[in-house]
Amino acid sequence: MPMSFEGSCHCGAVQFKVNAEPPAAAISCNCSHCRRKGFLLSFFPAEQFTLTQGEEALRSYKFNTHKIAHRFCQICGTEPFAYGANPDGSEVRAINLRCVPAIDLDALELQHYDGAKA
């Protein structure tokens, strides 16, 4: 297995890399936000995440408690990742696996999260 994987927004302005094995599972959440954007998510410590290009193209969308910065490309509208924190305060990155071309989406084990009720 490769020890890292790369992803991007649709237009390519935003590029990122994660220093971890490509995940075999993804979280599919039914909350009002995830269901609209169709995310397949996997979470990583911020230290394993590198934004390699495109900070200037990124905008942030926040709602509800405003604890998560949903970062999207202002050119193409894609949200490749979100910035958040664990309850202990450590920074975490939620990666939208749909923005990682090397990952076979149909092979992912889906872990359904009932975010609509949470």
Q: Does 13 bind Zn ion (CB under 5 A)?
A: yes
Asked if residue 51 lies in contact with residue 65, where contact means CB atoms within 8 angstroms, the answer is no
Q: Report the distance separating Cα 97 and Cα 38, nearest Å.
A: 10
State the minimum distance, in angstroms, from the CB of residue 71 to Zn ion. 11
Question: Among 81, 27, 93, which Cα is nearest to 54's?
Answer: 81
Closer residue to Zn ion in complex, CB, 27/78: 78
Q: Report the distance separating Cα 60 and Cα 82, nearest Å.
A: 9
The window from 5-13, 38-46, 61-69, 100-108 that contacts Zn ion (CB under 5 A) reads: 5-13
Residues in the interface with Zn ion (CB under 5 A) total: 6
Q: Does 103 bind Zn ion (CB under 5 A)?
A: no
- Residue in 6, 11, 31, 45 binding Zn ion, rule: CB under 5 A: 11
Q: Does 51 bind Zn ion (CB under 5 A)?
A: no
The window from 17-25, 32-40, 70-78, 85-93 that contacts Zn ion (CB under 5 A) reads: 70-78
Q: Report the distance separating Cα 91 and Cα 111, nearest Å.
A: 22
Phi first, then psi, for residue 31 (nearest 5°) are -70, 170
Residue with tokens 């749909």: 98
Q: Does 76 bind Zn ion (CB under 5 A)?
A: yes
Q: Please give the residue ranges that form the binding site for Zn ion (CB under 5 A).
A: 9, 11, 13, 73, 75-76
